[in-house]
Structure 1
């Protein structure tokens, strides 16, 4: 089987035409979606980049692999301990290894392993092509390498090509000559002047007034053509959204080239094409602009479009993890899903349109905040342990049907629902602990620290790597901009959320 996985960093589903976006950002992805199965509630288990791709390639939750952040011991997969043999072809083998065992050539075109020192991500790939710019390369730099690989291998029978585009990721460096196809299109209307004013007076890395990373370190705003220095008004917001959407549209042009190349080779109809992402991108939600710092719906829900032979076109609204796709792909090539995986195949949905989703999902974030989300029915509950220097409550509850941009925390108005979400989270954590103690699913009792929640290790080691060493410069900025009370809050707590959820809800 031929499988082309188009992995677009920071791609939100609700900014694609096939998911109902009113801007024409994705005409070529939409072409694929016309004959594909499209998943509307598909989530990464762990965010952002390094935890997400680790979970996808390993088929295991971050609470089992230990990878929940971008630095320190929680950025590397825990040693397999007694389960470590002389190869990695057993219960904890990776997706590329599982595909190789079914005689598939596996290739990875991406700077990701270099960008995050994620050497475990190349485990099982026959070929890794490093695109060389640590994640700021544009689609015009990625596509020629993909074209070369496909011209050499595309007509072969069995391969998996994982191709990584980065254009929707900040700094939104689409070439200036590409222009702005959306100059006459209004920005999404959910952000009001009143809400923006509240965000502007608030605080946090990549928040409305401190939108560039340089504000943390004291370096100030970055000199970028497509992003403003701050989000002071709705015109700034529109410019920011335009920068993101233009990145999608630019990348999509090269998706069109991929389609044309596969058709030229006569293999388009016989190739499984997957379009997805490692995480989404907050564009003002929870006062985060152009980053992915939370375990919320916007950061953790990603697109999934799957087209190919024996794929039933249509829409799947069930709840799925991205590591469930790993198990599905193994079954698609007639392999056995490894015993050491957490992922569950949803092949019956792809092949026959059956409903095989999960009852609820738990998402995680450890690179900025230490936070977990629970997604069930139309609800999203966020439980924050370490706030990453943001105004997060201990418990937040959002009705995603009525409030998809997470504007109003309704936890105190719906305490029974919030308690239900907390109960689901406790149930999930308890089961993962049993897995780790007994070796069920993705747990490995022989691994060092196997019974320790890695989010707690992040907190123990000082919280977010991106914030460490920046308190003095950032609190000075807050005082200089009239936000002294926020500076004092950071200095007093350094992000630790000590309030008990029951106290917040009472």
Structure 2
């Protein structure tokens, strides 16, 4: 079996043609999707980059590995504990790549990610790692090109290629042009929404679109978003990034075809997380545990794959047991992921989960619950943004998460909170009992890592001790003094009086 995994950073599915987007951003990804199996409710369990890829490659929840942040205690995996053996390759918690290698596949990674993010844990089980030095596709592709030239004809390999172009700040080379210059932007957000966002606050909000404010050296992005024209410039930058990486995906496909192995290769297209393009007043980044940050594309095409669309709920950690089972490998007992191989090979529609819980800790301390058409967000630290303690959205009627229904529908909100509490309790009980991905032998194993992040002062990228003073000054300078005062009082920590917020006694 030959497997090519195309990993595109910050790629939200609804900006791809095969997921219904009105712009031609992805002709080559759409070429893969034609005749493939496409998943519409596929979520990273822990966002964004380091938590997501750690979860993917370990097939374990962040609440079990401890990795939910980009810095501090919870950016590194908890040690195995006193039960650590001499050789981790036979461990019940061995990585996905180790399981594929055990199944006879040669594993290779082309990516700048492990060193850029200090996430060396994702390398466990790779036979080769090619560090690309730069992020753009024109720097990444030559490494993949050379690897395919040297290895395509061999049997039984897995190649993971990590592209970054849709990741902010959207610095696609100027000579690539502006393919969407004459095409309309998405209809949402409208001018009224943008104006409301502009008067609000937060890193990567409409007035502070480049983090905490300030100028940008990148010509494809405006300095702020105060109107539809500036929004169009911004979303054009994101979409051009997708189109640029798509060009290089086309080169990979053409190369596999020239080598005579395209039809024999299982091709997987996915992402580590999505990208908010105005949702929750986050423009061009990934700060939340919502649908837009945590839902990612999954397209699988190749021999033995049943074409069609899977609308069931799946975690990204479910891919490891799925592909391991697909290649007749052994699935370790210490994984949280659940195989949906029957969906992949037979089109089964009963392989999904009843509901999902996803986390965010680098930019806010937040968990989201996804069930039916509902998304519930529970915020513990707002990352210096304007979040309520509980937010409830009907994604079918309100896909851009504009109207918080928590106080209007408290019974639905309480159901979401109950699902969240059940999920956390179940995960911690798994740890206590050494079940699934829970390892009771690990230091701090029975401590929820979200509490550890809060104890450190909040999300790594928005800790008030490091950011609040300068950001409050900017808010006052830009006529938003009332927001500065509110943040100085709360320091980002959100009142947890949930019953009072929902209208209880």
* TM-score normalised by structure 2 residue count: 0.98
1:354: how far off? 0.3
Alignment of 1:349-364 (within 5 A): 349-355=343-349, 356-364=351-359
Residue equivalent to 1:304: 298
Q: Give the aligned partner of residue 48 of structure 1.
A: 48
**Higher mean C-alpha displacement, 206-215 vs 481-490:** 206-215
1:191 aligns with 2:189: yes
Matched, 1:394 2:389: yes
Does 2:493 align with 1:496?
A: yes
- 1:427-470 CA-to-partner distances (Å, cap 9, x unmatched) read 10010010010110000000001111111111100112223312
Over aligned residue pairs, what C-alpha RMSD do you find? 0.8
Please give the alpha-carbon distance, in whole angstroms, between the structure 2 residues aligned to 1:297 and 1:123. Answer: 30
Q: Say which of 472, 476, 501 aligns to 1:475.
A: 472
Q: How many residues align?
A: 499
Which stretch of structure 1 is more off in the superposition, 111-120 or 492-501?
492-501
Measured in 2, the distance between the counterparts of 1:83 and 1:358 equals 31
2:286 to 292, 302, 327: 292
Match of 1:366 in 2: 361
- Does the 8 A contact of 1:9 with 1:168 survive in 2? yes
In the TM superposition, what whole-angstrom CA distance separates every residue of 1:257-312 from its partner, at most 9, and x where no partner exists?
11111111111111100000000011111000111000000000000000010000
Partner of 2:243, secondary structure, is helix
> Take 1:470 and 1:363, find their aligned partners in 2: how far apart are those partners?
26
User: 2:167, 2:202 → 1: CA distance?
Assistant: 19
* Larger displacement relative to structure 2 (240-249 or 89-98): 89-98
- Corresponding residue of 2:419: 424
Cα deviation digits, residues 335-391 of structure 1 (max 9, x gap): 121110000000000000002100000000000100000000010000001100111
- Corresponding residue for 1:110? 111
Deviates more, 1:77-86 or 1:33-42: 77-86
TM-score of the pair, normalised by structure 1:
0.98
Q: Deviations over 1:153-192 (max 9, x none)?
A: 1111101111000000011111111111111111111212
8 Å Cα contact 1:214-1:221 kept in structure 2: no
Structure 1 residue aligned with 2:308: 314
Aligned residue in 2 for 1:87: 87
Unaligned runs of 5+ in 1: none
Give the Cα–Cα distance (whole angstroms) in 2 for the partners of residues 140 and 410 of structure 1: 45
Match of 1:491, SS state, is helix
Q: What's 1:6 paired with?
A: 6
Report the alpha carbon displacement of residue 214 of structure 1 after superposing the two structures with TM: 5.0
Structure-2 separation of matches of 1:103 and 1:354: 27
1:251-270 equivalences in 2 (<5 Å): 251-270=245-264
Is there any run of 5+ residues in structure 2 with no aligned partner, and where? none
Tell me, yes or no, if the aligned pair for 2:366 and 2:381 is still in contact at 8 Å: yes
DSSP-derived class of the 1:253 partner: helix
Contact 1:82–1:446 (CA under 8 A) maintained in structure 2: yes
| SS of match in other structure, 1:146 | helix
**1:143 counterpart (141, 144, 155):** 141
Question: Is the 1:213–1:221 Cα contact (8 Å) retained in structure 2?
Answer: no
Distance in 1, Cα, partners of 2:408 & 2:112: 46
Do residues 403 (structure 1) and 394 (structure 2) align? no
Q: Work out the CA distance in 1 between the residues paired with 2:353 and 2:423.
A: 12
Deviation of 1:127 after TM superposition, in Å, equals 0.3
More deviation in 412-421 or 302-311? 412-421
The CA distance in 1 between the partners of 2:144 and 2:290, in whole Å, is 33
Match of 2:239 among 226, 242, 245: 245
CA distance in 2, matches of 1:484, 1:181: 40
Write the distance in 2 (CA, Å) between the matches of 1:502 and 1:273: 48
SS at match of 2:82: helix
Q: CA offset at residue 129 of structure 1?
A: 0.5
SS in structure 2 at match of 1:324: helix
